[in-house]
Amino acid sequence: MAESAYPDLDGFLTGRVPEELRAILTGFAAASATLRDSLAMAPLLGLLGSTGETNVQNETTAKLDDVANSIFRDALQLPGVARLISEEEAEPVELGDGRYTVCFDPLDGSSNIGVASVGSVLGVYEGLPAAPADNAPATGRALVASAFTVYGLPSILVVATRDSVDGFAFNPEERSWRLAFPSIRLPEAQYTSINWTYRDRWPANVARGVEQASDGLRGRYSGSMVEDILRVLLAGGVFLYPEDSASPGGKLRMLYEICPIGFVMESAGGAASNGSGSVLDVPVTAPHQRGALVAGAASAVARYSEAYLAG
Ligand code: AHG
Ligand code: MN
Ligand code: MN
């Protein structure tokens, strides 16, 4: 089959990244394949709906948030991993000695469960002194790799290192992730992704920034960050989730949403800012710290930042 033209993830990573990092990335990919099965069967397995509980962020937990968290938590307890930080775990899970802090959003876009695409996000940090805290802040500059999955048809896994961003499509027959979108560079911007229904909540400088960044672009917003970010990578555009009066510090979380996506964007020739500077330079002092994210075409991000800083 012509498929041999499409290397699988493990072969692709061999020799490109250290062994332990390769195992983390392939572990994330394998866990994504497992979660994909649960998502595909969810309506027939009673897996839609909520658990009736709330997580540490005070958000209702979907049954599939729990399923996804177990899958990734189990798959990522690997050699070289010092701790896991998950959206669905109140505290970091300490594992012992290791170079890497592995952060993940097991299921991104929970409001789309059963009706549209959802995904998963991974950030692999090296050299953090300890779990993020006031006396030991982390930044996204400690990332050595990040990845995200979008569970659609096709299901796509994007893997970023400092040198390259590459997209893999899932082959369900052989259960492999194969390189289908090599060396992704951001195309010219076409689309703007933002929840416009919050416009009355935006401070004036955010509203002007959104207007400037979106100038000449067409709107697409899915409610799953990963899906909108995939569109930015493959079709071109900008994704914005700024602070607003309901979420004054922003809604998305730094360690397992904003920084991994910022790392993808900078590696693919784009930009990711909170309006004041790169999201990768923001000090993170708590595992579930939130922030603002404007990510995509460097020109659109620059237009946002200029208006944002002008006040
Ligand atoms: P999660 O499902 O992990 O909590 O993340 C949802 C995030 C993100 O995927 C999406 O872009 C955003 O929340 C949607 O929020 P709004 O419904 O406020 O637009
Ligand atoms: Mn999320
Ligand atoms: Mn989530």
Could you tell me if 145 and 74 are in contact, meaning their C-beta atoms sit under 8 angstroms apart? no
Kindly state the percentage of the chain with pLDDT values over 70. Answer: 99
Could you tell me if 69 and 63 are in contact, meaning their C-beta atoms sit under 8 angstroms apart? no
Task: Express each pLDDT in 167-199 by its tens digit.
Answer: 999 999 999 999 999 999 999 999 999 999 999
pLDDT for 193 equals: 98
pLDDT for 127 equals: 87
Report residue 124: phi and psi, to 5°.
-115, 115
pLDDT for 4 equals: 65
Angle between helices 259-267 and 225-235 (to 10 degrees): 10
Could you identify the atom of ligand 1 that is nearest to the CA of residue 105? 3
Task: Express each pLDDT in 47-73 by its tens digit.
Answer: 999 999 888 888 889 999 999 999 999
Could you identify the atom of ligand 1 that is nearest to the CA of residue 228? 11
Hey, what domains does the chain have and what are their CATH numbers?
3-181 (3.30.540.10), 191-309 (3.40.190.80)
Task: Express each pLDDT in 209-230 by its tens digit.
Answer: 999 999 999 999 999 999 999 9
Separation of alpha carbons 35 and 120, rounded Å: 9
Stretch 11-23: mean pLDDT, rounded? 97
Least Cα distance to 160 among 137, 132, 181 occurs for 181
- List of residues 6+ apart from 203 with CB closer than 8 A: 243, 244, 245
**CA of residue 257 to ligand 1 center, whole Å:** 10
